[in-house]
Amino acid sequence: MKKIIAIDIDGVITLEDLGPDFDKAVPNPEAIRLINKLYDEGNTIVLWTARGVFKHKDVWNITRQQLKNWGVKYHILNIDKPVYHVIIDDRAFSSVEEYVERRRSSQEV
């Protein structure tokens, strides 16, 4: 079954979360490879980031250019994710790798 998969950018697609210095972020090649695989399988990829809270005048353009440069495949980019220290959710995974591994062992994920 095709899924809608929401994925954070900083600390997931990038190697670390640099906060307001997101323009200096370094991509995580393994996460990008797995995200692109999910995209190619027909899943809808929604990138969800809190970068918008920094009020950087070019947050949208910088983020889109980074994703293009890194070769990330996605359908939707949302920069209005709420800021939090912890998220507790019945559908949350701590990494793209964890999601892919769980999916291999169970068709329900």
pLDDT tens digits, residue range 54-99? Answer: 777 789 999 999 999 999 999 999 988 877 777 777 778 878 888 8
Flag whether 37 is in a domain: no
What are the tens digits of pLDDT across the range 21-57?
Answer: 999 999 999 999 999 999 999 999 999 998 877 777 7
Contact in structure between 85 and 55 (CB atoms under 8 Å):
no
The answer to whether position 1 is within a domain reads no
* CATH code of 18's domain: 3.40.50.1000
The boundaries of the domain holding residue 85 are: 6-32+42-105
Q: Is residue 83 part of a domain?
A: yes
13, part of any domain: yes
Residue 69 maps to a domain: yes
Q: Which residues contact 16 (CB under 8 A, 6 or more apart)?
A: 10, 25, 26
Please indicate, yes or no, if residue 16 is contained in any of the structural domains.
yes
Query: Looking at the 3D structure of the chain, how many domains does it have?
Result: 1
